[in-house]
């Protein structure tokens, strides 16, 4: 069976009550070799189980009569059903803020959280950040204080450090496994837009998603997110989101925002191949090659140029575009970023302002209704800001689908968040008002031109 990434994620050490009263967090590596129980005792109360669900009724839609449309968009009719998700989470603030994976609660409407002491609370989803596969929940606590886990520093981790993974694998109950940091800065995992993962051999399995990766001081250093597996179970290759990325999302939630805003570079980056490295006189293929600079962007203002290779960010090495994206993504808007580049064989250092992507033109958000394939879709204008938020690249025209209502025509036919609508019935779509106008009346047919994932598709449907 082909190995695959499984989104979903020790031996327990027993001890007597007398021993428990005298144990403390270990203060040396020698003490760690005796037992991990003190670390577990400190961290375990902060790890929770997350139960999410939704009930929906799928309805048939006449647009499914078109086989080409059905094949491309993958929509299906069907009867009502209940979807459930099981995962883990970590309490990161005593007021009841819980960090978990976005894929654990994606599309869910009801969320409950069970603590290690078996208390259960309803939870509200206060922030979703699918670009990092993170989400923040708020427990409805009625003033109750919760045991929050201390946040560590993932940049201080080294390969070989001992870590514990705490979560609820397969729904069997809270479980602890032990391992080491197998690798750092894994960027080719393909789970999130900010691919920069901690790899560990601590056993993590489906249900561990959102659980804590903990260091020997009982601090959170990562959020378990995925495993590489042939069978769906652990084979010792697990991935965790670094806690320094978690901190940005938690800070946004504490600030009361519903969406994380990150600095914008305003340049397209590509990996440095062996051939490119040789042509530039580099001894090895590392760094992020700038292939295009957006005029008036922070990159342009800093003096970055097409053909520059970014090699360092604030002193940290950059191996590829993903690692640069992570280094920039964990910075707050404001201030500057020191970027080291290789330009025509010479090392240059430049300061890039940490600014948010502009909304030019304004998003002009609107929800479409009526009898069209787009009914139930929320659309926004294409701008650097909306392209950043919705992970859209490689398009310069059209409008973006920012959200889709459940049980709507747009959902039923398989339109997706992030799709860019380029034209309808051969009419070019430049602004959201254009799409609203062309879909306001019933048409004899619908000819849709849509960009998704770097590809453009056109299909014709009956009216």
Please report which confidence band the pLDDT of residue 32 belongs to, taking 50, 70 and 90 as the band edges: low
Condensed to tens digits (0 to 9), the pLDDT of residues 139-177 reads 987 778 899 999 999 989 999 999 999 988 777 778 899
**What DSSP string describes 169-195?**
GGGS--EEEEEEEEEEEE----SSSS-
Q: Which of these, 428, 429, 446, lies nearest to 370 by C-alpha position?
A: 446
Sign of the alpha-carbon dihedral angle for 167, 4, 194, 402 = negative
Condensed to tens digits (0 to 9), the pLDDT of residues 348-389 reads 999 999 999 999 999 999 999 988 999 999 999 999 999 988
Q: How far apart are CA 270 and CA 263, in angstroms?
A: 19
pLDDT the model gives residue 392: 87
Condensed to tens digits (0 to 9), the pLDDT of residues 418-441 reads 999 999 999 999 999 999 999 988
Q: Which one of the listed residues 66, 129, 133, 320 is annotated catalytic?
A: 133
Interhelix angle 321-329/243-254, rounded to 10 degrees, is: 40
Q: Does residue 114 contact residue 48 with C-beta atoms inside 8 Å?
A: yes
Please report the domains of the chain, with CATH numbers, ordered by start residue. Answer: 1-17+34-260 (2.40.10.120), 267-353 (2.30.42.10), 366-462 (2.30.42.10)
Residue 103 annotated as catalytic: yes
Q: Does residue 149 contact residue 91 with C-beta atoms inside 8 Å?
A: yes
Residue 297 annotated as catalytic: no
What's the mean pLDDT in 78-99? 81
Q: Which one of the listed residues 209, 323, 372, 408 is annotated catalytic?
A: 209
Q: Does residue 121 contact residue 112 with C-beta atoms inside 8 Å?
A: yes
Q: How far apart are CA 120 and CA 128, in angstroms?
A: 22
Q: Which one of the listed residues 85, 103, 320, 408 is annotated catalytic?
A: 103
């Amino acid at each position: 069976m082909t190995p695959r990434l499984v989104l979903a994620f020790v031996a327990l050490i027993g001890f007597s009550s007398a021993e428990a009263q005298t144990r403390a967090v270990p203060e040396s590596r020698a003490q760690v070799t005796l037992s991990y129980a003190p670390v577990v005792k400190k961290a375990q109360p902060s790890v929770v189980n997350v139960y999410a669900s939704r009930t929906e009724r799928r309805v048939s839609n006449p647009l499914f009569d078109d086989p080409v449309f059905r094949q491309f968009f993958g929509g299906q009719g069907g009867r009502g059903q209940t979807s459930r998700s099981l995962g883990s989470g970590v309490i990161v603030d005593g007021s009841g803020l819980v960090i978990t994976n976005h894929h654990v609660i994606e599309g869910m409407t009801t969320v409950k959280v069970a603590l290690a002491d078996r208390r259960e609370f309803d939870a509200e989803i206060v922030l979703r950040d699918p670009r990092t596969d993170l989400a923040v929940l708020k427990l409805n606590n009625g003033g109750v204080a919760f045991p929050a886990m201390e946040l560590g520093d993932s940049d201080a981790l080294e390969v070989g450090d001992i870590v514990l993974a705490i979560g609820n694998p397969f729904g069997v109950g809270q479980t602890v496994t032990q391992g080491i940091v197998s690798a750092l800065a894994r960027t080719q995992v393909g789970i999130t837009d900010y691919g920069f993962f901690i790899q560990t051999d601590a056993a993590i399995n489906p249900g561990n998603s959102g659980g804590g990766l903990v260091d020997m001081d009982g601090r959170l250093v990562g959020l378990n997110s995925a495993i590489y597996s042939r069978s769906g179970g652990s084979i010792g290759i697990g991935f965790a989101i670094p806690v320094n990325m978690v901190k940005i999302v938690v800070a946004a939630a504490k600030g009361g925002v519903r969406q994380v805003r990150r600095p914008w570079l305003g340049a397209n980056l590509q990996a440095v191949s062996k051939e490119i490295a040789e042509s530039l006189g580099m001894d090895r293929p590392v760094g992020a090659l700038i292939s295009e600079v957006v005029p008036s962007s922070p990159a342009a203002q800093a003096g970055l140029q097409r053909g520059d290779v970014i090699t360092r960010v604030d002193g940290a090495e950059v191996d590829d575009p993903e690692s640069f994206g992570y280094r920039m993504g964990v910075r707050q808007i404001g201030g500057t970023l020191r970027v080291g580049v290789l330009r025509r064989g010479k090392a240059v250092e430049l300061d890039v302002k940490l600014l948010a992507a502009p909304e030019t033109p304004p998003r002009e958000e609107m929800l479409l209704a009526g009898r069209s394939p787009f009914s139930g879709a929320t659309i926004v204008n294409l701008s650097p800001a909306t392209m950043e938020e919705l992970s859209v690249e490689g398009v310069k025209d059209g409008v973006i689908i920012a959200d889709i209502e459940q049980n709507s025509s747009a959902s039923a036919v398989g339109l997706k968040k992030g799709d860019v609508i380029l034209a309808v019935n051969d009419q070019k779509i430049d602004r959201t008002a254009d799409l609203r106008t062309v879909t306001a009346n019933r048409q004899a047919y619908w000819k849709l031109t849509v960009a998704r994932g770097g590809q453009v598709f056109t299909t014709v449907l009956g009216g």
